[in-house]
Chains A and B, each alone.
Chain A
């Protein structure tokens, strides 16, 4: 960032807060991935990085470059949109593969197929 000295104080504070928040959440997600013991618990941890981790860093970028330039910079929003639209694809593929593996191996913790039958009129 070569023009950082031109950034007003409120914008630099806000940017710093958002960047720290985003990277902190992403780091926690990475730690969680290591800490959790089972696949289906692990799958939750990286979502911190793909939701508000990405969101806060993108917001920080919007704040920083909008304050530096004259016009609002909003194309970072696209990163968020694509993140939200694409993560389910990977996650579902992984989850289904894990489920298939667990059921094939006869793992007792795997949810039985009968759960998918409708038990009441709902």
Chain B
């Protein structure tokens, strides 16, 4: 582990954020670099577990899939709200056995599930790896398990594990 730059990705992200919030100039670049290095060294003092990105090339693919899925479920949930509360729609809980164990990957999955309207992360049991989701339009339980496992979990395991 490099002493000056313990978290190169974090440092780069902080610098990028600084430049986006101020302006792209040499002066701001220098100040931003100082802040980013200082903050990432402060972070090192907390000794967080270091997330590993094994195949970062797949990140744009994940981002694309998630953006489209979120758009699709926005339309689905919006139409449910417009149509009103009908009897034929069943909302319910689904238990999904996950093989994903990496903490960062689980956090990313939580962001995906939460950002997608119609699915909500309710509970996760680390000892069994079972995730409890609440789904607004639960037509087919097996289909939801397949969606989470094949669409997101497989990709996340490729990226993080």
**B interface, by DSSP: helix, strand, loop or mixed?**
mixed
B91 CB, min distance to chain A CBs, angstroms = 5
Q: How many residues in A have their beta carbons less than 8 Å from beta carbons of B?
A: 40
Residues in chain B near residue A78, CB distance under 8 A: 17, 20-21
- The distance in angstroms between the C-alpha atoms of A93 and B23, with both chains bound, is 36
Q: Are A48 and B91 in contact (CB under 8 A)?
A: no
Q: How many residues in B have their beta carbons less than 8 Å from beta carbons of A?
A: 40
Residues in chain A near residue B20, CB distance under 8 A: 74-75, 77-78
- The distance in angstroms between the C-alpha atoms of A29 and B70, with both chains bound, is 14
A31 in contact (CB, < 8 A): yes
Q: Known: A75-B21, A95-B122. Is A116-B132 also a contact (CB below 8 A)?
A: yes
A-B Cβ contacts below 8 A, count? 119
- Closest residue of chain A to B113, judged by CB? A88
Q: Are B74 and A88 in contact (CB under 8 A)?
A: no
A68 in contact (CB, < 8 A): no
Q: Are A111 and B132 in contact (CB under 8 A)?
A: yes
Contacts A44-B118, A88-B113 aside, 12 further interface pairs with beta carbons under 8 A come to A25-B78, A31-B81, A32-B77, A40-B134, A43-B120, A45-B77, A52-B70, A84-B111, A92-B110, A95-B123, A111-B132, A116-B123
